[in-house]
């Protein structure tokens, strides 16, 4: 797929979105979309919004860089456009709704016993396409958002970035990234299980060395909230 037209047609077909539907989602005319799909236009000022609507990376759609599908398909700069889509979504019958809101999780400690409670924030949510969640194997009711705190996962994730978490996927698979609650901290870390221990690993390993807990200590002190399936990234 060497041209924008090739990549755009492929992404539209995979997402099941027509030219007119895509035009409505991103605020362009249908003829403008047709020019891109036919190869008459080789770029668009709406390339980021188009990529977000189709669930692909903007750089892949624009110039073929990298892979089309990624957990970081939804860029933080598209939150405004996502909210506009929600107004269309709310006008549809429930069975026809294409988008779903995913809430932010607040993790706090219950007084006295040190156990954690999970509460959903009513002030913060992002809109995702149901097709994307299905493709990632994430049940809609299990998809939640949490904020990254600190610099231990840089350069992949920065302080304040948001990640999507599947709270039904809590079984540790080596090298995957999880949201965990440890003591009074909500953390996003890579987990590696060994026969006798669990390694809690940061991407920034020079400043944040591996933490090794034996299995009993890990079970008693760490709660795995869920596996990360998506992330935003601040610049």
User: What local confidence, expressed as pLDDT, does residue 82 receive?
Assistant: 37
Among 40-49, 72-81, 156-165, the range scoring the smallest mean pLDDT is: 72-81
Q: How sure is the predictor about 234, in pLDDT bands with cuts at 50, 70 and 90?
A: low
Establish if 75 belongs to a structural domain: no
Q: Give residues with Cβ within 8 angstroms of 25, minimum separation 6.
A: 17, 49, 53, 85, 88
Residue 112 shares a structural domain with residue 61: no
Q: What is the mean pLDDT of the chain?
A: 79
Q: Do the beta carbons of residue 104 and residue 146 sit within 8 Å?
A: yes
Beta bridge partners of 178: 189, 227
Establish if 123 belongs to a structural domain: no
Residue 55 shares a structural domain with residue 110: no
- Structural domain for 146, as ranges: 103-117+138-231
Tell if the pTM clears 0.85, that is, is over it: no
Both tokens of 171, joined, read 């079984």
Both tokens of 125, joined, read 């949510």
Residue 107 shares a structural domain with residue 210: yes
Residue 108 shares a structural domain with residue 220: yes
Give pLDDT tens digits for 78-131. 333 333 343 344 444 444 467 888 888 776 533 334 445 566 665 677 888 888
Residue 144 shares a structural domain with residue 190: yes
Establish if 184 belongs to a structural domain: yes
Residue 53 shares a structural domain with residue 109: no
Establish if 27 belongs to a structural domain: yes
User: What local confidence, expressed as pLDDT, does residue 89 receive?
Assistant: 40
Residue 9 shares a structural domain with residue 65: yes
Strand order in the sheet with 162-166: 116-129, 99-109, 143-147, 162-166, 222-231, 176-182, 185-193, 197-201, 211-214
| CATH number, domain containing residue 39 | 1.10.260.40
Residue 146 shares a structural domain with residue 62: no
Establish if 24 belongs to a structural domain: yes
The structural domain count of the chain equals 2
Residue, of 147 and 167, whose pLDDT is higher: 167
| DSSP for 8-55, written as a single string | HHHHHHHHT--HHHHHHHHT--HHHHHHHHHTS----TTHHHHHHHHT
Q: How sure is the predictor about 42, in pLDDT bands with cuts at 50, 70 and 90?
A: confident
List % helix, strand, coil for the chain (3-state, nearest 5): 35, 30, 35
Residue 146 shares a structural domain with residue 212: yes
Residue 55 shares a structural domain with residue 108: no
Burial per residue of 199-230, b for 16 or more beta-carbon CB atoms within 10 angstroms, e otherwise: bbbbbeeeebeebebeeeebeeebebbbbbbb
| CATH number, domain containing residue 182 | 2.10.109.10
> Cα dihedral angle (178, 151, 80, 127), rounded to 10 degrees?
10
Residue, of 15 and 89, whose pLDDT is higher: 15
Establish if 145 belongs to a structural domain: yes
Residue 59 shares a structural domain with residue 17: yes
Residue 110 shares a structural domain with residue 40: no
Establish if 32 belongs to a structural domain: yes
Q: Which of 32, 141, 124 is nearest to 76 (CA)?
A: 124
Q: How sure is the predictor about 206, in pLDDT bands with cuts at 50, 70 and 90?
A: confident
Establish if 150 belongs to a structural domain: yes
Question: Per-residue pLDDT averaged across 219-224, rounded?
Answer: 90
């Amino acid at each position: 797929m060497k041209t924008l037209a090739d990549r755009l047609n492929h992404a539209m077909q995979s997402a099941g979105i027509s030219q007119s539907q895509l035009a409505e989602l991103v605020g362009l005319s249908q003829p403008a979309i047709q020019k891109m799909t036919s190869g008459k236009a080789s770029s668009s000022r709406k390339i980021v919004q188009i990529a977000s609507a189709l669930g692909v990376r903007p750089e892949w759609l624009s110039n073929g860089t990298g892979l089309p599908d990624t957990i970081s398909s939804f860029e933080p700069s598209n939150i405004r456009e996502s909210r506009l889509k929600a107004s269309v979504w709310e006008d549809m019958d429930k069975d026809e709704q294409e988008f779903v809101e995913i809430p932010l999780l607040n993790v706090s400690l219950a007084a006295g016993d040190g156990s954690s409670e999970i509460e959903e924030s009513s002030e913060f949510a992002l809109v995702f396409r149901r097709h994307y969640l299905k493709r990632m194997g994430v049940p809609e009711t299990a998809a939640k958002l949490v904020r990254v705190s600190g610099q231990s996962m840089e350069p992949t994730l920065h302080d304040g970035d948001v990640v999507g978490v599947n709270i039904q996927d809590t079984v540790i698979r080596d090298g995957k990234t999880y949201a965990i609650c440890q003591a009074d901290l909500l953390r996003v870390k890579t987990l590696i299980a060994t026969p006798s221990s669990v390694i809690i690993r940061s991407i920034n390993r020079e400043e944040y060395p591996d933490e090794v807990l034996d299995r009993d200590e890990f079970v008693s002190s760490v709660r795995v909230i869920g596996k990360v399936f998506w992330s935003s990234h601040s610049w």
